Amino acid sequence: MSTNLEQAQIDRTLIARFKQGDQSAFDEMVTTYWDRIFARAFQLLNNREDAEEVTQDTFIRAQRGLENFRGDASFSTWLFQIATNLSHNRYWYWWRRKRDASYSIDQTLSEETESTLMDVLPSEGENPGEATVTQEFVDRVSACMQMLSEKHREILELRNVQNLSYEEIAEELQISVGTVKSRIARARDRLRERLGDDFK
């Protein structure tokens, strides 16, 4: 197991590789920190689904911000701060809307899939919330899924429709678990982009 100093050096090397355009370096960061970030989010939220989505969003934020990362704090400290902030935002968002309220977001996306809006539409802030989700919105999500690249659509379907584990998806696609996790995060990010600002 790496010491903190050794890990910090490894992180600096990975960040340098990422800034030079090496996407696999970020996949290695995901592999290294995924479980720890998930544990932090779960500790704060006490909900596995919310913790998983916060973890994915943490890495999305990190990937977007890494170009400007100056190393004033360690990468791990920076990453944990992102996760903590997202967890707090999520907690208060749901608290204000009374988490035990009944939402109509368990409707399937289409007749061809058992996947629901909650499966593929993680909340990063505002979402359809307390309003009843109309068939028009369901159709929109389904249409946006079809607009994703084949690899992004495929990985969301493996995860959310077939309910495969990260390890099973990695075996199915012959890629690393770290790549699976970062690809799912990017796919969900692309889906939010397709849906537009109202659903980000």
Same domain assignment for residues 83 and 133: no
Domain of 146, CATH number, reads: 1.10.10.10
Percent of residues, the chain, with pLDDT higher than 70: 72
How many domains does one find in the chain? 2
Same domain assignment for residues 91 and 38: yes
pLDDT of residue 35: 92
| Residue range(s) defining the domain that contains residue 77 | 4-96
Mean pLDDT (whole number) for 175-192? 88
Quote the CA–CA distance of 52 and 64 in Å, as a whole number: 19
pLDDT of residue 98: 45
In a domain, 56, yes or no: yes
Return contacts of 41-44, CB within 8 angstroms, 24+ apart. Answer: 41/83, 41/86, 41/87, 44/84, 44/87, 44/88, 44/91
Q: What is the pLDDT of residues 92-139, one digit of tens each?
A: 655 555 444 444 444 555 455 555 555 555 444 434 443 344 456 666
Q: Cα–chain-centroid distance for residue 24?
A: 17
Residue located via tokens 């061809």:
112
Count other Cβ atoms within 10 Å, centred on residue 56.
26
pTM of the model: 0.55
**Among residues 42, 65, 66, which one has the least CA distance to residue 54?**
42
Return contacts of 138-145, CB within 8 angstroms, 24+ apart. Answer: 138/107, 138/108, 138/109, 138/110, 139/110, 140/195, 141/109, 141/117, 141/191, 141/195, 142/109, 142/110, 144/191, 144/194, 144/195, 145/109, 145/120, 145/191
The size of the chain, in residues, is 200
Q: What are the percentages of helix, strand and coil residues in the chain, rounded to 5?
A: 70, 0, 30
